[in-house]
A and B are shown apart, each in its own frame.
Chain A
């Protein structure tokens, strides 16, 4: 009886010890993530320039946001961004991962080469590509030299119909190698005997891919897609460095709009409102991931 009581007491102490170890990280999270996030929600109900006195205006910022044409342009651009990023790098990454996984001696070389752009800082890569896309001394000169005059006159970052896609291209160049490495890691976990069995049964390469590869890497695939969706809502760096959201607001994203409102217009309250909306979108993407997980894909 006494021993049981001691064991119970020790267990209780251990439980408290665990809480004690978790506490510093929890406090840090509370202080630097949870509280600022909550204050953003709080500020969204105020007219505030970030330094002066705050004026409570209720839902006025929200009403303004839903009537703001710039906001809708940014939102639509964000969805375009998502659409491109959940297709192009996923398809390209998967395809290249499937090929690279077949390589033996040169696999490391190709993995490194394709992954390399990902380790370059976005601001630096953005500036480098700005120079490449400069109409006077960038790739346009190469096109002109090749006789492709029309292409040589293209304003990659100055044409409102192209600017967003030009920036997307650069971010894709930077990002797809990361996706490929994720898929490569997943592919290497697939049991090779499954392929052997399929081959014995006479399955084609396409059928192997469709019925073995894809289901086996489904958790990674789902994780990559949901992560891309969440990241796409938050993407900022390449657009800010390369076009600043322009020309006009042709390449404006929600994040760049938030930044402009907060630090050019000094409308912290309104910027907070857009942040809240942005968070809701990300949370919805996260909820989708949880839903998928519940349906049986161990994400």
Chain B
């Protein structure tokens, strides 16, 4: 009797399980995406204009979107531990190259060709993300460059114009001081020493010039050549003369420096493209211009960089990799969604935006900025941002030791000599990132 009861019970349980297994939900594939877009705005932009359209085609997929403010660091730690996200939006091509060379991410060249992204992505951006062996280490995401911004009402009130050369900048700086501002502009490096390289990038483009910088990175010039050394001496001169603060850059944070500009304590600021949105979000009516020329014969140049790359974890299965590429394809093959993302405050991707989207809902400062930088790119007036084109250790040393150089703890010769030593190793090993 007991045996019969046990058998009956087992049978009932089995029968009970049958419908469960037959009606069980189809197994979902989870794609983890660690992204540099953060906050509610970032989530909205990513979900609305990338993830949602993708999920409409792939209902069996879950995109686990993970925002991160310090993405490269987190990705490197996670990948170093043998884990990490499936898709990652890392800081730029030099990081992408490092991850690829470490065998952590895949070559995206086949995907570029398969989806035809090479027809939409700017060639210079794709070149920069290409390893010496021809592999594409990361799909270029947004581009960014350095610009000058001016407080428009203040400039109009005083009859000032944005400077087009160094002499004009010096004269304007004096006028701004005379008008009672605490400084023409404030450079806050206290919490972000990397801000030094924003200026260095500007000066590589607008003092050294594109060709001289290219010569440096390809070994035909050294840091001691006058065009290159001038980048550093001009920076110190501006620091000493109080054009970028009152020799107090290390005592002011980035946020405080911006707050002073918003509050009208300073009249100008030198930042990247991203500051168009920052300005709008803080109610600023701004003049936007290319940085001035710092040397005769060098045109006003837009120092440019690939501000981010999408890389795919090599440990993903081929099926998952395919899905990830389809997800990325939404970004590169849907100009309508791209334009809508821009309207919602997203950054400018490394793909041209059709003229039809430059009118209408897109905010005026964004359009103004796009036209300005498109024009510079079309004329070839583009320079090299250090974080994209310089070897990692050279650029880190450059911005980390800028303080020491500015306050006189490090001589110009020592400063340049150390950078040259590092660059020489990269030139010998062929590990300088691709130069445009």
Contacts and interface: CB of A to CB of B under 8 A. Distances in A.
Most buried by B among A49, A248, A264: A248
B251 A134 contact: yes
B363 to A, nearest CB: 30
Contact of A158 (B102, B249, B409): B249
A136 B190 contact: no
A243 B190 contact: yes
B400 A158 contact: no
Contact of A160 (B98, B102, B248, B407): B407
Contacts of A158: 190, 247-252
Nearest to A251: B250
Nearest to A157: B251
A180 interface: no
A145 interface: no
A130 B246 CA distance: 17
A219 interface: no
A246 B403 contact: yes
Contact of B403 (A133, A136, A247): A247
A101 B10 CA distance: 73
Nearest to A268: B80
Contact of B250 (A131, A247, A265): A247
Contact of A157 (B102, B190, B193, B404): B190
Contacts of A246: 189-190, 193, 250, 403
Interface in A237-278: 241-244, 246-249, 260, 263-266, 268
A51 B265 contact: no
Contacts of B256: 130-131, 134, 136-137
Interface in B162-199: 182, 189-191, 193
A246 B252 CA distance: 12
Interface string A124-143: 00000011011111000000
Interface residues of A, number: 33
B99 interface: yes
A157 B250 contact: yes
B250 A243 contact: yes
B283 to A, nearest CB: 20
Most buried by B among A130, A158, A242, A249: A158
Most buried by A among B77, B101, B250, B396: B250
Interface in B363-419: 392-393, 396, 400-401, 403-404, 407, 409-410
A136 B252 contact: yes
Nearest to A162: B251
Given A52-B102, A136-B256, A160-B409, A249 B248 contact: no
A156 interface: yes
Contacts of B249: 158
Nearest to A154: B251
A51 B396 contact: no
A51 B410 contact: no
A266 to B, nearest CB: 7
A192 to B, nearest CB: 51
A198 interface: no
B248 A155 contact: yes
Given A51-B79, A247-B403, A135 B393 contact: no
A58 interface: no
A265 B252 contact: no
A265 B426 CA distance: 15
A130 B189 CA distance: 13
A248 B73 contact: no
B214 interface: no
A215 interface: no
Interface string A158-192: 11100100000000000000000000000000000
A50 B409 contact: no
Given A136-B182, A248-B410, A50 B250 contact: no
B80 A51 contact: yes
A50 B265 contact: no
Contacts of A260: 400
Given A135-B248, A248-B410, A264-B400, A130 B393 contact: no
Contacts of A200: none
B265 A136 contact: yes
Nearest to A155: B251
A275 to B, nearest CB: 15
A18 interface: no
B193 A244 contact: yes
B104 A248 contact: no
A136 B409 CA distance: 25
B407 A247 contact: yes
Contacts of B401: 248
B76 interface: yes
Contacts of A241: 191
B103 to A, nearest CB: 8
B238 interface: no
Contacts of A130: 190-191, 253, 256
Nearest to B263: A137
A266 B251 contact: no
B260 interface: yes
B404 A53 contact: no
Nearest to B99: A51
Interface in B75-107: 76-77, 79-80, 98-99, 101-104
A240 B404 CA distance: 17
A181 B345 CA distance: 51
Contacts of A247: 250, 403-404, 407
27 contacts: A49-B102, A50-B77, A130-B190, A134-B251, A134-B252, A135-B248, A136-B256, A136-B260, A136-B265, A157-B190, A157-B250, A158-B248, A158-B252, A159-B251, A160-B407, A160-B409, A243-B250, A244-B190, A244-B193, A246-B189, A246-B193, A248-B403, A248-B410, A260-B400, A264-B400, A265-B392, A268-B80
Given A49-B102, A134-B252, 15 more contacts: A51-B80, A134-B256, A135-B246, A135-B248, A155-B251, A157-B251, A158-B248, A160-B407, A243-B190, A246-B190, A246-B193, A248-B407, A265-B392, A266-B392, A268-B80
The 10 closest A-B pairs by CB, nearest first: A158-B251, A248-B404, A52-B102, A247-B250, A158-B250, A247-B403, A155-B251, A51-B80, A51-B102, A248-B409
